[in-house]
Structure 1
Amino acid sequence: MLYADLHTHTSASDGTQPSSENIRLAVKAGLAGIAITDHDTVAGIDEALEAGSQSGITVIPGVEISTVFEGQDIHVLGYWIDHTNPLFLSRLTSLRDVREQRNVMMIERLNELGLQVTMEDVWASLETSKKADETIGRPHIADALLKKGYVSSIAEAFDRYLGNGAAAYVNPPRIEPFTAIEWILEAGGVPVLAHPGLYDLDELIPRLADVGLAGLEVYHSDHSPEQEKHYQSIAEQLGLIMTGGSDFHGERGGVVFHAPVGARKVEMSVVKQLAEAKRTTTKQMPSDNTEEA
Protein backbone atom coordinates (compact mmCIF):
# COMPACT_ATOMS: atom_id res chain seq x y z
CA MET A 1 0.00 0.00 0.00
CA LEU A 2 1.31 3.46 -0.92
CA TYR A 3 0.85 6.43 1.43
CA ALA A 4 1.12 10.22 1.53
CA ASP A 5 1.56 12.80 4.29
CA LEU A 6 -0.67 15.70 3.30
CA HIS A 7 0.33 18.28 5.91
CA THR A 8 3.94 19.46 6.33
CA HIS A 9 5.65 22.81 6.88
CA THR A 10 9.04 24.13 5.85
CA SER A 11 11.33 27.04 6.69
CA ALA A 12 9.29 29.11 4.24
CA SER A 13 6.83 29.49 7.14
CA ASP A 14 7.29 28.12 10.65
CA GLY A 15 9.06 24.87 9.88
CA THR A 16 12.75 24.52 10.67
CA GLN A 17 14.12 23.09 7.43
CA PRO A 18 13.93 23.62 3.66
CA SER A 19 11.29 21.79 1.66
CA SER A 20 13.88 19.57 0.00
CA GLU A 21 14.59 18.11 3.44
CA ASN A 22 10.88 17.31 3.87
CA ILE A 23 11.09 15.38 0.61
CA ARG A 24 14.15 13.48 1.82
CA LEU A 25 12.37 12.57 5.06
CA ALA A 26 9.29 11.47 3.11
CA VAL A 27 11.42 9.13 0.99
CA LYS A 28 13.13 7.83 4.14
CA ALA A 29 9.70 7.16 5.67
CA GLY A 30 8.69 5.12 2.63
CA LEU A 31 6.03 7.57 1.46
CA ALA A 32 4.90 7.87 -2.14
CA GLY A 33 3.54 11.41 -1.74
CA ILE A 34 3.87 14.53 0.38
CA ALA A 35 2.16 17.92 0.45
CA ILE A 36 3.92 21.19 1.26
CA THR A 37 1.38 23.32 3.13
CA ASP A 38 3.10 26.36 4.57
CA HIS A 39 1.18 29.10 6.36
CA ASP A 40 0.04 31.86 3.98
CA THR A 41 2.94 31.29 1.57
CA VAL A 42 3.88 29.05 -1.35
CA ALA A 43 7.57 30.00 -1.27
CA GLY A 44 8.73 26.43 -0.57
CA ILE A 45 6.85 24.68 -3.36
CA ASP A 46 9.24 25.05 -6.31
CA GLU A 47 12.15 23.57 -4.35
CA ALA A 48 9.91 20.70 -3.23
CA LEU A 49 8.76 19.97 -6.78
CA GLU A 50 12.35 19.85 -7.98
CA ALA A 51 13.39 17.55 -5.13
CA GLY A 52 10.35 15.37 -5.71
CA SER A 53 11.11 14.95 -9.40
CA GLN A 54 14.62 13.82 -8.53
CA SER A 55 13.41 11.44 -5.82
CA GLY A 56 10.45 9.95 -7.67
CA ILE A 57 7.95 11.06 -5.04
CA THR A 58 4.67 12.89 -5.75
CA VAL A 59 4.67 16.44 -4.36
CA ILE A 60 1.28 18.10 -3.94
CA PRO A 61 1.52 21.92 -4.06
CA GLY A 62 -0.42 23.27 -1.12
CA VAL A 63 -0.97 26.08 1.35
CA GLU A 64 -2.52 26.54 4.79
CA ILE A 65 -4.53 29.75 4.95
CA SER A 66 -5.08 31.48 8.29
CA THR A 67 -8.63 32.68 8.95
CA VAL A 68 -10.83 33.65 11.88
CA PHE A 69 -14.45 32.75 12.61
CA GLU A 70 -16.21 34.07 15.71
CA GLY A 71 -12.85 34.80 17.34
CA GLN A 72 -11.47 31.33 16.68
CA ASP A 73 -8.45 30.60 14.47
CA ILE A 74 -9.54 28.38 11.59
CA HIS A 75 -7.02 26.99 9.10
CA VAL A 76 -8.00 25.98 5.58
CA LEU A 77 -5.70 23.78 3.51
CA GLY A 78 -5.57 24.15 -0.25
CA TYR A 79 -4.26 21.32 -2.45
CA TRP A 80 -3.15 21.29 -6.10
CA ILE A 81 -3.25 25.10 -6.18
CA ASP A 82 -1.77 27.15 -9.01
CA HIS A 83 1.03 28.52 -6.85
CA THR A 84 2.21 30.94 -9.55
CA ASN A 85 -1.04 32.84 -10.11
CA PRO A 86 -0.47 36.60 -9.56
CA LEU A 87 -3.84 37.27 -7.92
CA PHE A 88 -3.48 34.38 -5.50
CA LEU A 89 0.07 35.50 -4.62
CA SER A 90 -1.23 39.02 -3.99
CA ARG A 91 -3.89 37.66 -1.68
CA LEU A 92 -1.32 35.68 0.27
CA THR A 93 0.76 38.84 0.65
CA SER A 94 -2.21 40.52 2.32
CA LEU A 95 -2.45 37.63 4.78
CA ARG A 96 1.24 37.85 5.61
CA ASP A 97 0.80 41.56 6.35
CA VAL A 98 -1.82 40.67 8.97
CA ARG A 99 0.47 37.95 10.33
CA GLU A 100 3.26 40.53 10.80
CA GLN A 101 0.83 42.81 12.62
CA ARG A 102 -0.12 39.96 14.91
CA ASN A 103 3.53 39.19 15.70
CA VAL A 104 4.13 42.79 16.78
CA MET A 105 0.98 42.76 18.92
CA MET A 106 2.08 39.55 20.66
CA ILE A 107 5.54 40.95 21.35
CA GLU A 108 3.94 44.06 22.86
CA ARG A 109 1.72 41.88 25.06
CA LEU A 110 4.72 39.83 26.20
CA ASN A 111 6.55 43.04 27.10
CA GLU A 112 3.54 44.15 29.15
CA LEU A 113 3.80 40.85 31.02
CA GLY A 114 7.43 41.62 31.88
CA LEU A 115 9.13 39.40 29.30
CA GLN A 116 11.91 41.33 27.58
CA VAL A 117 11.70 39.97 24.05
CA THR A 118 11.77 41.91 20.78
CA MET A 119 11.17 41.14 17.11
CA GLU A 120 14.94 41.44 16.74
CA ASP A 121 15.25 38.52 19.18
CA VAL A 122 12.79 36.56 17.07
CA TRP A 123 14.75 37.25 13.89
CA ALA A 124 17.98 36.31 15.65
CA SER A 125 16.53 32.95 16.71
CA LEU A 126 15.66 31.92 13.14
CA GLU A 127 17.46 28.90 11.77
CA THR A 128 17.65 30.52 8.33
CA SER A 129 17.09 34.02 6.99
CA LYS A 130 13.63 34.89 5.72
CA LYS A 131 12.70 36.08 2.24
CA ALA A 132 9.93 38.60 1.56
CA ASP A 133 7.42 35.90 0.59
CA GLU A 134 8.06 33.73 3.65
CA THR A 135 6.36 33.98 7.03
CA ILE A 136 7.11 34.29 10.73
CA GLY A 137 4.63 32.88 13.23
CA ARG A 138 4.08 31.90 16.82
CA PRO A 139 6.57 29.00 16.81
CA HIS A 140 9.31 31.50 16.00
CA ILE A 141 8.27 33.70 18.94
CA ALA A 142 8.12 30.59 21.12
CA ASP A 143 11.64 29.68 20.03
CA ALA A 144 12.88 33.14 21.04
CA LEU A 145 11.23 32.76 24.46
CA LEU A 146 12.90 29.37 24.84
CA LYS A 147 16.34 30.69 23.92
CA LYS A 148 15.98 33.61 26.34
CA GLY A 149 15.09 31.20 29.16
CA TYR A 150 11.52 32.36 29.77
CA VAL A 151 10.14 28.89 29.07
CA SER A 152 11.57 25.39 29.16
CA SER A 153 9.86 24.13 26.00
CA ILE A 154 7.91 25.24 22.95
CA ALA A 155 4.84 23.56 24.45
CA GLU A 156 5.17 25.68 27.59
CA ALA A 157 5.45 28.85 25.49
CA PHE A 158 2.14 28.06 23.82
CA ASP A 159 0.44 26.92 27.02
CA ARG A 160 1.44 30.01 29.01
CA TYR A 161 1.68 32.77 26.45
CA LEU A 162 0.95 32.12 22.78
CA GLY A 163 -1.82 29.54 22.51
CA ASN A 164 -5.51 30.36 22.09
CA GLY A 165 -6.64 32.11 25.27
CA ALA A 166 -3.11 32.30 26.76
CA ALA A 167 -1.67 35.43 28.36
CA ALA A 168 -0.15 37.03 25.24
CA TYR A 169 -2.57 35.66 22.65
CA VAL A 170 -4.03 38.18 20.22
CA ASN A 171 -6.15 37.70 17.13
CA PRO A 172 -6.41 40.70 14.78
CA PRO A 173 -9.11 40.79 12.09
CA ARG A 174 -8.57 38.26 9.31
CA ILE A 175 -10.58 36.81 6.46
CA GLU A 176 -13.21 34.21 7.30
CA PRO A 177 -12.83 30.58 6.16
CA PHE A 178 -15.55 31.11 3.54
CA THR A 179 -13.26 33.59 1.79
CA ALA A 180 -10.28 31.23 2.01
CA ILE A 181 -12.33 28.52 0.30
CA GLU A 182 -13.24 30.93 -2.50
CA TRP A 183 -9.61 31.97 -2.97
CA ILE A 184 -8.43 28.34 -3.10
CA LEU A 185 -11.09 27.39 -5.63
CA GLU A 186 -10.24 30.39 -7.78
CA ALA A 187 -6.57 29.36 -7.62
CA GLY A 188 -7.52 26.00 -9.11
CA GLY A 189 -7.16 24.20 -5.79
CA VAL A 190 -9.13 21.91 -3.50
CA PRO A 191 -10.10 23.31 -0.06
CA VAL A 192 -9.89 21.11 3.03
CA LEU A 193 -10.55 22.08 6.66
CA ALA A 194 -7.40 21.51 8.73
CA HIS A 195 -7.45 19.71 12.09
CA PRO A 196 -11.15 20.29 12.98
CA GLY A 197 -10.64 18.68 16.37
CA LEU A 198 -8.77 21.78 17.53
CA TYR A 199 -11.72 24.15 17.02
CA ASP A 200 -14.82 22.76 18.76
CA LEU A 201 -16.89 24.29 15.94
CA ASP A 202 -18.41 21.25 14.26
CA GLU A 203 -21.49 23.26 13.32
CA LEU A 204 -19.31 25.28 10.95
CA ILE A 205 -18.37 22.28 8.77
CA PRO A 206 -21.71 21.91 6.89
CA ARG A 207 -21.72 25.66 6.20
CA LEU A 208 -18.24 25.42 4.70
CA ALA A 209 -19.29 22.40 2.66
CA ASP A 210 -22.14 24.45 1.22
CA VAL A 211 -19.66 26.97 -0.24
CA GLY A 212 -17.20 24.48 -1.68
CA LEU A 213 -15.24 22.75 1.09
CA ALA A 214 -14.15 19.45 -0.47
CA GLY A 215 -12.39 17.68 2.37
CA LEU A 216 -11.85 17.27 6.09
CA GLU A 217 -8.49 16.55 7.75
CA VAL A 218 -9.72 13.57 9.73
CA TYR A 219 -6.29 12.13 10.56
CA HIS A 220 -3.99 14.55 12.39
CA SER A 221 -1.25 14.23 14.98
CA ASP A 222 -3.32 16.13 17.55
CA HIS A 223 -6.53 14.14 17.01
CA SER A 224 -7.45 11.37 19.40
CA PRO A 225 -8.78 8.05 18.04
CA GLU A 226 -12.24 9.13 19.21
CA GLN A 227 -11.98 12.39 17.31
CA GLU A 228 -10.87 10.58 14.17
CA LYS A 229 -13.95 8.35 14.33
CA HIS A 230 -16.12 11.41 14.94
CA TYR A 231 -14.77 13.29 11.92
CA GLN A 232 -14.89 10.19 9.76
CA SER A 233 -18.61 10.13 10.43
CA ILE A 234 -19.05 13.84 9.61
CA ALA A 235 -17.01 13.48 6.40
CA GLU A 236 -19.11 10.50 5.32
CA GLN A 237 -22.36 12.37 6.03
CA LEU A 238 -21.27 15.40 4.00
CA GLY A 239 -19.47 13.54 1.24
CA LEU A 240 -16.10 15.11 2.07
CA ILE A 241 -12.69 13.66 1.20
CA MET A 242 -10.95 12.35 4.33
CA THR A 243 -7.37 13.62 4.38
CA GLY A 244 -4.59 13.41 6.94
CA GLY A 245 -1.08 14.44 7.77
CA SER A 246 1.57 14.85 10.43
CA ASP A 247 1.60 18.69 10.51
CA PHE A 248 5.38 18.35 10.65
CA HIS A 249 7.20 21.57 11.57
CA GLY A 250 10.68 20.21 12.20
CA GLU A 251 12.49 20.11 15.52
CA ARG A 252 12.69 22.85 18.14
CA GLY A 253 14.30 22.49 21.54
CA GLY A 254 15.04 18.84 20.78
CA VAL A 255 11.35 18.04 20.18
CA VAL A 256 9.63 17.40 16.85
CA PHE A 257 6.58 19.65 16.40
CA HIS A 258 3.85 18.34 15.88
CA ALA A 259 5.05 14.92 14.68
CA PRO A 260 7.62 13.41 12.28
CA VAL A 261 6.97 13.23 8.54
CA GLY A 262 4.77 10.21 7.89
CA ALA A 263 3.52 9.90 11.47
CA ARG A 264 0.01 10.48 10.14
CA LYS A 265 -0.70 9.52 6.55
CA VAL A 266 -3.38 8.46 4.11
CA GLU A 267 -3.44 6.12 1.14
CA MET A 268 -2.38 7.56 -2.22
CA SER A 269 -5.96 6.99 -3.36
CA VAL A 270 -6.80 10.14 -1.35
CA VAL A 271 -4.31 12.11 -3.47
CA LYS A 272 -6.17 10.80 -6.51
CA GLN A 273 -9.49 11.90 -4.99
CA LEU A 274 -8.09 15.41 -4.48
CA ALA A 275 -6.88 15.49 -8.08
CA GLU A 276 -10.33 14.43 -9.28
CA ALA A 277 -11.93 17.13 -7.14
CA LYS A 278 -9.60 19.70 -8.69
CA ARG A 279 -10.83 18.77 -12.16
CA THR A 280 -14.51 18.85 -11.27
CA THR A 281 -15.10 21.54 -8.63
CA THR A 282 -12.59 24.38 -9.01
CA LYS A 283 -13.57 27.73 -10.42
CA GLN A 284 -11.75 29.74 -13.07
CA MET A 285 -9.39 32.34 -11.65
CA PRO A 286 -10.61 35.88 -12.45
CA SER A 287 -8.69 37.30 -15.39
CA ASP A 288 -8.49 40.78 -13.85
CA ASN A 289 -5.32 40.57 -11.78
CA THR A 290 -5.84 44.14 -10.59
CA GLU A 291 -8.56 42.98 -8.17
CA GLU A 292 -7.81 44.11 -4.65
CA ALA A 293 -6.50 41.39 -2.36
Structure 2
Amino acid sequence: MQYADLHIHTTASDGSDTPSEVVHKALEIGLRAIAISDHDTMDGVLEAERAAEKFNLEVISGVEVNTFFEGKEIHILGYLIDPCNEKFVAKLKELQGDRMTRIKKMVDKLNKLNIKIELERVLELSSGGSVGRPHIARALVERGYVLTLQEAFTNYLGVGKPAFVSREKLSPKEAIRLITRAKGVPVLAHPGLSKINTYLLDLVNEGLKGLEVWHKNHTPLMVEYYAEIAKKYNLVPTGGSDYHGSAHDTCNILGGAVAPFDSVQLLKNAHQKLF
Protein backbone atom coordinates (compact mmCIF):
# COMPACT_ATOMS: atom_id res chain seq x y z
CA MET A 1 0.00 0.00 0.00
CA GLN A 2 1.20 3.52 -0.76
CA TYR A 3 1.15 6.26 1.86
CA ALA A 4 1.19 10.05 2.09
CA ASP A 5 2.42 12.32 4.87
CA LEU A 6 0.22 15.38 4.45
CA HIS A 7 1.36 17.49 7.40
CA ILE A 8 5.00 18.59 7.24
CA HIS A 9 6.85 21.71 8.38
CA THR A 10 10.16 22.99 7.03
CA THR A 11 12.61 25.82 7.61
CA ALA A 12 10.11 28.07 5.81
CA SER A 13 8.36 28.23 9.19
CA ASP A 14 9.36 26.39 12.37
CA GLY A 15 10.83 23.15 11.02
CA SER A 16 14.53 22.29 11.18
CA ASP A 17 14.79 20.55 7.75
CA THR A 18 14.79 22.40 4.46
CA PRO A 19 12.10 21.46 1.92
CA SER A 20 14.74 19.63 -0.13
CA GLU A 21 15.88 17.65 2.91
CA VAL A 22 12.27 16.67 3.59
CA VAL A 23 11.92 15.39 0.02
CA HIS A 24 15.04 13.24 0.28
CA LYS A 25 13.95 11.80 3.62
CA ALA A 26 10.49 11.05 2.19
CA LEU A 27 12.11 9.16 -0.67
CA GLU A 28 14.28 7.19 1.75
CA ILE A 29 11.26 5.91 3.68
CA GLY A 30 9.21 5.20 0.57
CA LEU A 31 6.42 7.75 0.83
CA ARG A 32 4.35 8.27 -2.32
CA ALA A 33 3.25 11.83 -1.53
CA ILE A 34 3.98 14.62 0.92
CA ALA A 35 2.38 17.98 1.66
CA ILE A 36 4.50 20.93 2.74
CA SER A 37 2.19 22.69 5.20
CA ASP A 38 4.17 25.40 6.96
CA HIS A 39 2.59 27.90 9.32
CA ASP A 40 1.15 30.90 7.47
CA THR A 41 3.53 30.54 4.51
CA MET A 42 3.88 28.57 1.29
CA ASP A 43 7.48 29.60 0.70
CA GLY A 44 8.76 26.02 0.97
CA VAL A 45 6.43 24.44 -1.59
CA LEU A 46 8.23 25.31 -4.82
CA GLU A 47 11.61 24.17 -3.50
CA ALA A 48 10.11 20.83 -2.51
CA GLU A 49 8.44 20.47 -5.92
CA ARG A 50 11.76 21.10 -7.68
CA ALA A 51 13.58 18.62 -5.45
CA ALA A 52 11.02 15.91 -6.23
CA GLU A 53 10.78 16.50 -10.00
CA LYS A 54 12.83 13.46 -11.05
CA PHE A 55 11.38 11.08 -8.51
CA ASN A 56 8.17 9.17 -7.95
CA LEU A 57 7.13 11.46 -5.13
CA GLU A 58 4.18 13.80 -5.39
CA VAL A 59 4.44 17.12 -3.57
CA ILE A 60 1.10 18.65 -2.53
CA SER A 61 0.98 22.36 -1.80
CA GLY A 62 -0.25 23.12 1.68
CA VAL A 63 -0.37 25.67 4.46
CA GLU A 64 -1.36 25.59 8.12
CA VAL A 65 -3.27 28.65 9.30
CA ASN A 66 -3.33 29.22 13.04
CA THR A 67 -6.59 30.54 14.49
CA PHE A 68 -8.11 31.04 17.93
CA PHE A 69 -11.56 30.15 19.22
CA GLU A 70 -12.97 30.20 22.76
CA GLY A 71 -9.57 30.01 24.42
CA LYS A 72 -8.22 27.31 22.11
CA GLU A 73 -5.78 27.33 19.24
CA ILE A 74 -7.38 25.78 16.18
CA HIS A 75 -5.27 24.99 13.12
CA ILE A 76 -6.79 24.85 9.65
CA LEU A 77 -4.83 23.18 6.85
CA GLY A 78 -5.29 24.38 3.29
CA TYR A 79 -4.36 22.10 0.39
CA LEU A 80 -3.78 22.49 -3.35
CA ILE A 81 -3.59 26.29 -3.33
CA ASP A 82 -1.41 27.77 -6.04
CA PRO A 83 1.71 28.96 -4.16
CA CYS A 84 1.89 31.88 -6.63
CA ASN A 85 -1.65 33.06 -5.85
CA GLU A 86 -0.86 36.74 -5.25
CA LYS A 87 -3.91 37.59 -3.14
CA PHE A 88 -3.48 34.57 -0.89
CA VAL A 89 0.26 35.10 -0.50
CA ALA A 90 -0.41 38.74 0.40
CA LYS A 91 -2.85 37.63 3.10
CA LEU A 92 -0.27 35.20 4.44
CA LYS A 93 2.23 38.07 4.64
CA GLU A 94 -0.33 39.99 6.67
CA LEU A 95 -0.71 37.02 9.02
CA GLN A 96 3.06 36.83 9.34
CA GLY A 97 2.98 40.48 10.42
CA ASP A 98 0.50 39.49 13.11
CA ARG A 99 2.89 36.71 14.10
CA MET A 100 5.70 39.22 14.51
CA THR A 101 3.58 41.41 16.77
CA ARG A 102 2.66 38.36 18.83
CA ILE A 103 6.28 37.18 19.09
CA LYS A 104 7.39 40.62 20.28
CA LYS A 105 4.74 40.55 23.00
CA MET A 106 5.83 37.09 24.13
CA VAL A 107 9.47 38.14 24.33
CA ASP A 108 8.40 41.20 26.34
CA LYS A 109 6.44 38.99 28.73
CA LEU A 110 9.44 36.72 29.21
CA ASN A 111 11.72 39.68 29.86
CA LYS A 112 9.29 40.96 32.51
CA LEU A 113 9.59 37.52 34.14
CA ASN A 114 13.35 38.17 34.26
CA ILE A 115 13.92 35.65 31.47
CA LYS A 116 16.33 37.52 29.26
CA ILE A 117 16.13 36.52 25.63
CA GLU A 118 16.49 38.89 22.69
CA LEU A 119 14.04 39.33 19.85
CA GLU A 120 16.96 39.59 17.43
CA ARG A 121 18.12 36.09 18.37
CA VAL A 122 14.61 34.68 17.95
CA LEU A 123 14.48 36.14 14.45
CA GLU A 124 17.93 34.71 13.65
CA LEU A 125 16.68 31.28 14.66
CA SER A 126 13.76 31.63 12.24
CA SER A 127 16.32 31.97 9.40
CA GLY A 128 14.09 34.42 7.59
CA GLY A 129 11.08 32.09 7.62
CA SER A 130 7.72 32.49 9.30
CA VAL A 131 8.63 33.13 12.94
CA GLY A 132 6.78 31.28 15.68
CA ARG A 133 6.83 30.05 19.26
CA PRO A 134 9.27 27.20 18.54
CA HIS A 135 11.90 29.82 17.72
CA ILE A 136 11.36 31.43 21.13
CA ALA A 137 11.56 27.95 22.64
CA ARG A 138 14.91 27.36 20.94
CA ALA A 139 16.18 30.65 22.34
CA LEU A 140 15.08 29.57 25.83
CA VAL A 141 16.98 26.29 25.44
CA GLU A 142 20.06 28.15 24.20
CA ARG A 143 20.09 30.39 27.24
CA GLY A 144 19.58 27.47 29.61
CA TYR A 145 16.18 28.52 30.95
CA VAL A 146 14.73 25.15 29.90
CA LEU A 147 16.24 21.86 28.79
CA THR A 148 13.88 21.05 25.92
CA LEU A 149 11.53 22.77 23.51
CA GLN A 150 8.63 20.91 25.08
CA GLU A 151 9.57 22.25 28.51
CA ALA A 152 9.50 25.79 27.06
CA PHE A 153 5.91 25.26 25.95
CA THR A 154 4.91 23.53 29.17
CA ASN A 155 6.34 26.26 31.40
CA TYR A 156 6.00 29.44 29.37
CA LEU A 157 4.63 29.36 25.82
CA GLY A 158 1.62 27.04 25.82
CA VAL A 159 -1.96 28.26 25.99
CA GLY A 160 -2.60 29.78 29.41
CA LYS A 161 1.10 29.88 30.36
CA PRO A 162 2.82 33.08 31.59
CA ALA A 163 4.25 34.21 28.24
CA PHE A 164 1.45 33.07 25.96
CA VAL A 165 -0.21 35.62 23.70
CA SER A 166 -3.25 34.50 21.73
CA ARG A 167 -3.99 35.22 18.11
CA GLU A 168 -7.52 36.50 18.32
CA LYS A 169 -7.73 38.25 14.96
CA LEU A 170 -8.49 35.17 12.89
CA SER A 171 -11.25 32.64 13.62
CA PRO A 172 -11.45 29.09 12.19
CA LYS A 173 -14.40 30.11 10.02
CA GLU A 174 -12.45 33.05 8.61
CA ALA A 175 -9.53 30.74 7.81
CA ILE A 176 -11.88 28.35 5.99
CA ARG A 177 -13.28 31.22 3.93
CA LEU A 178 -9.77 32.50 3.19
CA ILE A 179 -8.60 29.09 1.96
CA THR A 180 -11.76 28.46 -0.06
CA ARG A 181 -11.51 31.84 -1.81
CA ALA A 182 -7.99 30.81 -2.87
CA LYS A 183 -9.43 27.60 -4.39
CA GLY A 184 -7.92 25.51 -1.61
CA VAL A 185 -9.31 22.57 0.32
CA PRO A 186 -9.73 23.45 4.05
CA VAL A 187 -9.06 20.64 6.53
CA LEU A 188 -9.26 20.71 10.33
CA ALA A 189 -5.87 19.75 11.75
CA HIS A 190 -5.44 17.28 14.64
CA PRO A 191 -9.02 17.48 16.03
CA GLY A 192 -8.01 15.19 18.88
CA LEU A 193 -5.82 17.99 20.22
CA SER A 194 -8.12 20.94 19.66
CA LYS A 195 -11.14 19.09 21.09
CA ILE A 196 -13.85 21.14 19.40
CA ASN A 197 -16.19 18.30 18.48
CA THR A 198 -19.32 20.32 19.29
CA TYR A 199 -18.11 23.09 16.95
CA LEU A 200 -17.28 20.77 14.07
CA LEU A 201 -20.69 20.90 12.38
CA ASP A 202 -20.48 24.70 12.30
CA LEU A 203 -17.15 24.41 10.47
CA VAL A 204 -18.61 21.89 8.02
CA ASN A 205 -21.45 24.29 7.30
CA GLU A 206 -18.88 27.04 6.75
CA GLY A 207 -17.15 24.94 4.08
CA LEU A 208 -14.73 22.58 5.85
CA LYS A 209 -13.87 19.77 3.42
CA GLY A 210 -11.55 17.50 5.36
CA LEU A 211 -10.54 16.14 8.75
CA GLU A 212 -7.08 15.08 9.85
CA VAL A 213 -7.85 11.55 11.02
CA TRP A 214 -4.31 10.20 11.32
CA HIS A 215 -1.92 12.25 13.45
CA LYS A 216 1.07 11.47 15.64
CA ASN A 217 -0.88 12.39 18.79
CA HIS A 218 -4.10 10.58 17.90
CA THR A 219 -4.68 7.33 19.74
CA PRO A 220 -6.14 4.33 17.85
CA LEU A 221 -9.52 5.15 19.42
CA MET A 222 -9.27 8.74 18.19
CA VAL A 223 -8.41 7.55 14.69
CA GLU A 224 -11.43 5.26 14.68
CA TYR A 225 -13.68 8.02 16.02
CA TYR A 226 -12.56 10.71 13.58
CA ALA A 227 -12.69 8.30 10.65
CA GLU A 228 -16.37 7.80 11.47
CA ILE A 229 -16.91 11.55 11.83
CA ALA A 230 -15.26 12.14 8.45
CA LYS A 231 -17.54 9.55 6.89
CA LYS A 232 -20.61 11.01 8.60
CA TYR A 233 -20.01 14.53 7.28
CA ASN A 234 -18.52 13.45 3.93
CA LEU A 235 -15.13 14.95 4.78
CA VAL A 236 -11.86 13.89 3.19
CA PRO A 237 -9.86 11.88 5.76
CA THR A 238 -6.26 13.12 5.76
CA GLY A 239 -3.27 12.51 7.98
CA GLY A 240 0.35 13.25 8.65
CA SER A 241 3.18 13.29 11.10
CA ASP A 242 3.18 17.06 11.83
CA TYR A 243 6.90 16.69 11.19
CA HIS A 244 9.01 19.58 12.45
CA GLY A 245 12.44 18.10 11.81
CA SER A 246 14.93 15.91 13.60
CA ALA A 247 16.11 18.82 15.77
CA HIS A 248 12.77 18.97 17.58
CA ASP A 249 11.88 17.06 20.76
CA THR A 250 8.52 15.93 19.42
CA CYS A 251 6.97 15.53 15.95
CA ASN A 252 10.45 14.58 14.74
CA ILE A 253 9.71 11.42 12.75
CA LEU A 254 8.75 11.92 9.13
CA GLY A 255 6.03 9.41 8.27
CA GLY A 256 5.31 8.90 11.97
CA ALA A 257 1.65 9.17 10.98
CA VAL A 258 0.42 8.80 7.42
CA ALA A 259 -2.72 8.69 5.33
CA PRO A 260 -3.42 6.19 2.57
CA PHE A 261 -2.48 7.59 -0.83
CA ASP A 262 -6.19 7.52 -1.70
CA SER A 263 -6.55 10.65 0.45
CA VAL A 264 -4.55 12.59 -2.14
CA GLN A 265 -7.04 11.77 -4.88
CA LEU A 266 -9.94 12.62 -2.57
CA LEU A 267 -8.35 16.02 -1.91
CA LYS A 268 -7.99 16.53 -5.66
CA ASN A 269 -11.62 15.59 -6.18
CA ALA A 270 -12.69 18.13 -3.55
CA HIS A 271 -10.42 20.70 -5.20
CA GLN A 272 -12.01 20.15 -8.61
CA LYS A 273 -15.45 20.90 -7.17
CA LEU A 274 -14.26 24.39 -6.23
CA PHE A 275 -13.97 25.39 -9.90
TM-score, normalised via structure 1 length:
0.91
Distance 1:256 1:114, change over 3 A: closer
CA offset digits 1:220-246 (Å, max 9, x no partner): 111122222221222121111111000
Counterpart Cα distance in 1 of 2:220 and 2:250: 19
Q: Is the 8 A contact 2:69 2:168 kept in 1?
A: no
For structure 1, list consecutive stretches of 5 or more residues without a partner in the other structure. Answer: 284-293
**1:256 Cα deviation from its structure 2 partner:** 4.7
Q: Is the 8 A contact 2:148 2:249 kept in 1?
A: no
* Alignment partner, residue 233 of structure 1: 228
Counterpart Cα distance in 2 of 1:83 and 1:121: 29
Q: Is the 8 A contact 2:150 2:249 kept in 1?
A: no
Q: Supply the AA of the counterpart residue of 1:117.
A: I
* Alignment partner, residue 61 of structure 2: 61
* Alignment partner, residue 159 of structure 1: 154
CA offset digits 1:56-111 (Å, max 9, x no partner): 21000010011111232111001111111111111111111111111011111111
* Alignment partner, residue 290 of structure 1: none
CA offset digits 1:206-262 (Å, max 9, x no partner): 11111111110011111122222221222121111111000000133xx45313111
Aligned counterparts, 1:237-252, within 5 A = 237-252=232-247
Counterpart Cα distance in 1 of 2:223 and 2:164: 28
* Alignment partner, residue 168 of structure 1: 163
Counterpart Cα distance in 2 of 1:90 and 1:217: 26
Instruction: Look up the SS of the partner of 1:203 in the other structure.
Output: helix
Q: Supply the AA of the counterpart residue of 1:268.
A: F
Runs of 4+ in 1 over 6 A off after TM superposition: none
Counterpart Cα distance in 1 of 2:188 and 2:241: 15
Counterpart Cα distance in 1 of 2:69 and 2:144: 34
Q: Is the 8 A contact 1:83 1:89 kept in 2?
A: yes
**1:46 Cα deviation from its structure 2 partner:** 0.7
Instruction: Look up the SS of the partner of 2:54 in the other structure.
Output: helix
Q: Does residue 108 of the first structure (1) align with residue 103 of the second (2)?
A: no
Q: Does residue 93 of the first structure (1) align with residue 106 of the second (2)?
A: no
Q: Does residue 273 of the first structure (1) align with residue 273 of the second (2)?
A: no
Instruction: Look up the SS of the partner of 2:154 in the other structure.
Output: helix
Q: Is the 8 A contact 1:80 1:190 kept in 2?
A: yes
Q: Is the 8 A contact 1:66 1:95 kept in 2?
A: no
* Alignment partner, residue 51 of structure 1: 51
Q: Supply the AA of the counterpart residue of 1:262.
A: G
Q: Percent identity?
A: 43
CA offset digits 1:15-44 (Å, max 9, x no partner): 012101111111011101000000000100
Q: Is the 8 A contact 2:150 2:250 kept in 1?
A: no
CA offset digits 1:131-154 (Å, max 9, x no partner): xxx301011100000010000111
For structure 2, list consecutive stretches of 5 or more residues without a partner in the other structure. Answer: none
Answer with 26-35 or 114-123: which moved more: 114-123
* Alignment partner, residue 23 of structure 2: 23
* Alignment partner, residue 211 of structure 2: 216
Counterpart Cα distance in 1 of 2:5 and 2:206: 26
- Give the aligned CA root-mean-square deviation in angstroms: 1.3
Counterpart Cα distance in 2 of 1:190 and 1:241: 9
Q: Is the 8 A contact 1:249 1:256 kept in 2?
A: no
Counterpart Cα distance in 2 of 1:83 and 1:125: 24
Counterpart Cα distance in 2 of 1:211 and 1:99: 25
